[in-house]
Chain A
Amino acid sequence: MRELLTYIEPWEFSPTVFLTCAVSAALYVRGLNALRSRGLGAGFWAPFAFFLGLALDYTVLQTYYDYLAQHMFWVHRLQHLVLHHLAPVLIVLAGPGAVLIEGVPASWRARARRLAAQSSVRRLLMVVRGAFRIVQHPLVAPLLFVGLIFYWLTPSIHFAAMLNVTRYKIMNWGMGVDGLLFWWLMLAPRRAQGSAAIGYPVRILIVCLMALPQILLGAYIALHSTVLFDVYGICGRAWELSPLTDQELGGLLTWIPAAMMSGVAMLVVLWRLLAEERERTPALARSAAPVADPRSATSADPLTPAVADPRLA
């Protein structure tokens, strides 16, 4: 029992990660209940994808897994694959925006609206909106996504990040947040994106192009004949494994599944493109059954509430 607990309890408790996950889950459950009471459902797959993504993020950050990730390169690469690719894709595909907003108590929503009307807050929101427009620019967003991977895998920077708790936390938070921003930009339906929207063909081009540097970096690491990241040897590995095998596995994880996510993303974008084409065709639109999908109920996305909210535009 005690042994089981050591695997489940956080290796290094982070109040911010815990609160973010707990509040998101609570808001989502509240939102689902509120929608259900109005006769609207979110189906099975959207909540499933949302909770799976959230649970994956929580598991790699707030369990014994985090210890293993600190002391084994390939486990660390898998952690980033979850934080930067897998979990955000699942969460974005769930399109949890409308449900999360529905989960915010009405009095809080009213207070937030009043607060957003104040001039100082308005100015702040404008700066946030400007920053958002920069990082979500079709040229900046993929560069930022790939750049973060290269940055944290620069051997000297990687070394410092694995030794220093603050840098380690910044690295993991950056991966998680950038993953959500980037995959939202690539995968969310255009109508949910407001002014940040990028056309579907451009998105396909971006996800294809960004796979290439990830493949090259992963292959470089996997095929490198000397140890690039000696911090794991210095601080001790979680279990016995040859440093070069560890590096090879880590390189392969950076190379193959990361590139595969581009393939998955491309299919999702194609599917969105076809779905929107169909909607535009009047004959088919008339025959289509009305959808009780909460995702189409709003154009604002909660991942960027201050920005995508048309009332602030």
Chain B
Amino acid sequence: MNSARAVRTASRALATIALALSLAGCGSPEPPFALQNVSGLLPRLKFSLTDQDNRPVTAQDYRGKVVLLYFGYTHCPDACPTTLATLAQSLRELGPAAARTRVLFVSVDPARDTPEVLKRYVGFFGTEFVGLRGDDDALTALSKRYRVAYHREAPDRNGYYAVDHSSAVFIFDATGRARLLARETDGAASIAKDLKRLTAG
């Protein structure tokens, strides 16, 4: 068979694909967000857990709110309180629009984080903060969905143990689409700036 023709046909096909890809890359009129944009990278918000009042809740219950999803535990010595305080600060800067947001604090340590403990803990940061917990299966499903890892270390003499967990805050728009990812290093001001845009619609 004519091999030169075969090469030509294949190169034309490759060129078409390359052109289509480069065109698909263009055409984003929106200015960039301050936080890491993860639109299209992560799946829609979906979970089935219980909240700090021991009520079963799903992602559907938070439709219409901009959701900030964070994995942590109340015995966390540094990362969790710092991150939650930053989020509380950004919600204060957001003003009245904060009513259209919810911070979902998913416990990676449900054994120690009973509903009562969670309730007291999230209440400290603000009314938009919700504590969620679930069994290992529900937690595994959720962590798999957002590609995060957590792992409980061996307890010390006093029975205390640390849990390694993700540091990211995943931010979903009011329709449940994953939009942004806040790193530990992102300040309250940049978070507030992007939340303003998301809560505006």
A residues whose Cβ falls under 8 Å from a Cβ of B: 11-12, 67, 70-71, 122, 126-131, 133-134, 160, 162-165, 167, 195, 230, 233-240, 312-313
Contacts and interface: CB of A to CB of B under 8 A. Distances in A.
B3 A234 contact: no
B42 A163 contact: yes
Given A130-B6, A130-B8, A130-B9, A240 B164 contact: yes
Nearest to A313: B1
Interface residues of B, number: 33
20 contacts: A67-B149, A126-B1, A127-B9, A128-B10, A130-B7, A130-B10, A131-B13, A164-B40, A234-B167, A235-B146, A235-B147, A235-B149, A236-B71, A236-B148, A236-B149, A236-B167, A237-B149, A238-B149, A240-B164, A313-B1
B135 to A, nearest CB: 15
Contacts of B9: 126-127, 130
B167 A233 contact: yes
B181 interface: yes
B195 to A, nearest CB: 19
B38 interface: yes
Nearest to A70: B147
A235 B168 contact: yes
A110 B7 CA distance: 28
Nearest to B178: A163
Contacts of A313: 1
B164 A234 contact: no
Contacts of B47: none
Contacts of A127: 6, 9-10, 13
Contact of B6 (A129, A162, A230): A129
Interface of B: 1-3, 5-11, 13-14, 38, 40-43, 71, 144, 146-151, 153, 164-168, 181, 183
A133 B3 contact: yes
A130 B2 CA distance: 10
Given A126-B5, A131-B14, 20 more contacts: A70-B147, A126-B1, A126-B9, A127-B13, A129-B10, A130-B5, A130-B6, A130-B7, A134-B7, A134-B10, A134-B11, A163-B41, A163-B147, A167-B41, A234-B166, A234-B183, A236-B150, A236-B151, A239-B151, A240-B164
Given A133-B6, A134-B10, A236 B164 contact: yes
Contacts of A162: 147
Contacts of A238: 149, 151
Most buried by A among B2, B71, B153, B166: B166
Contacts of B43: 165
A234 B149 CA distance: 10
Given A127-B10, A130-B11, A131-B14, A236 B165 contact: yes
A235 B2 CA distance: 51
Contacts of A236: 71, 148-151, 164-167
B59 to A, nearest CB: 18
A156 B98 CA distance: 31
A134 B14 contact: yes
A144 to B, nearest CB: 12
Contacts of A237: 149, 164
Contacts of B151: 236, 238-239
A292 B41 CA distance: 52
